[in-house]
Every structure is written in C-alpha cells, then in structure tokens.
C-alpha cells in the first residue's frame, strides 16, 4: 500500500516547504535476496519509484538515517562485498 500511496504521503509531508529535501529510502522486498533500495528526497521519491518500477511490498523510510545507508553502501562497494545493510 505504501508504494501506491507515496505521492499522497509525500504531498502531506511537503505541506511544510522545509521538508522537501528530507532524505527518503524505499526498500522493496526487504530481507529477501532480491531486495532493492532506492533513495531520493521527499520532493522526488515518487519519480524515483516510478523510474525504478518499485513494487510492493516496500518500506518507506524518511530522515537522516537514509544518508547513513548511502554512506555504508559506498564503503561496502569499495570492499566488493555483497552484504546488504
């Protein structure tokens, strides 16, 4: 449901203009081998989801914790590991 409602959810969050640049991650099929993570901001995550054909089940995560995920992913790539965080 969250994926199909993301535009409505983000529009509600953007009622405060200061929220437009809050980091957002969407985790499709969390904990499964075919898990995918896409990131963006409150302002653009709807188009990121559409561009990447993200399907339910998916989690939507808002906040600075998303930046931590991005940094850890960069570090893991340097070590050529497939560990998912």
Tens digits of per-residue pLDDT, 25-54? 999 999 999 999 999 999 999 999 999 999
What percent of the chain clears pLDDT 90, i.e. is strictly above it?
A: 73
What's the pLDDT at 84? 54
* Residue 61 and residue 23 in contact, taking contact as beta carbons nearer than 8 Å: no
What percent of the chain clears pLDDT 70, i.e. is strictly above it?
A: 92
User: For residues 11 and 2, which has the higher predicted lDDT (pLDDT)?
Assistant: 11
What's the pLDDT at 3? 83
Instruction: Tell me what the pLDDT averaged over the chain comes to.
Output: 89
Sign of CA dihedral 70, 73, 77, 78: positive
What domains can be seen in the chain, in order of their start residue? 2-78 (3.30.950.10)
List C-alpha distances in Å: 65 to 22, 25, 60, 69, 72: 10, 9, 12, 7, 11
DSSP-derived 3-state class of residue 36: strand
């Amino acid at each position: 449901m969250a994926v199909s409602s993301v535009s409505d959810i983000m529009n509600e969050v953007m009622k405060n203009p200061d929220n437009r640049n809050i980091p957002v991650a969407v985790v499709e099929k969390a904990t499964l081998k075919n898990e995918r993570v896409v990131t963006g901001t409150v302002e653009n995550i709807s188009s990121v989801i559409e561009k990447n054909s993200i399907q339910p089940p998916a989690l939507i995560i808002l906040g600075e914790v998303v930046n931590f995920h991005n940094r850890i992913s960069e570090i893991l790539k340097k070590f050529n590991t497939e560990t998912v965080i």
